[in-house]
Amino acid sequence: MFATPAYAQAAGGAMGAVTSLMPLILIFAIMYFLLIRPQQKKLKEHKTMVEALRRGDQVLTQGGILGKVVKVAEDGIIEVEIAEGVKVKVMKHTVAQVMSKTEPAAA
């Protein structure tokens, strides 16, 4: 008439494993949509911004230096003029924001 405790434990074993993993799966899904995915999107936008840098753009570096791009090198370095006649070399990936874009020259 009554089930023994050993039989009752064996019957819920497979279903218990799935229900115990459900909170972990739910937490991972929430972390993906709230943290991982937006960070990947932000990194992709920054990469496209850095690749689109050209001479004449006003940029703000992560160090807070505001200047005008004078030269763009292929090895990931740009030359930025921060004052009249004062030029510094900066790594491309340290550009935080492009303040104003210049229009490409007419061909």
At residue 18, the pLDDT reads 81
Instruction: With cut-offs at 50, 70 and 90, classify the pLDDT of residue 102.
Output: confident
At residue 104, the pLDDT reads 65
Select the CATH number that applies to the domain covering 54-100 from these four: 2.60.40, 3.30.1360, 2.30.30, 1.10.287.
Answer: 2.30.30
Contact 55, 71 (CB under 8 A): yes
Q: pLDDT tens across 53-86, in order? A: 999 999 999 999 999 999 999 899 999 999 999 9
Read off φ and ψ for residue 21, nearest 5 degrees: -85, -20
Instruction: With cut-offs at 50, 70 and 90, classify the pLDDT of residue 100.
Output: confident
pTM: 0.69
User: Is residue 59 classed exposed, middle or buried when 0-12, 13-18 and 19+ CB atoms within 10 A define those classes?
Assistant: buried
Average pLDDT over residues 77-99: 95
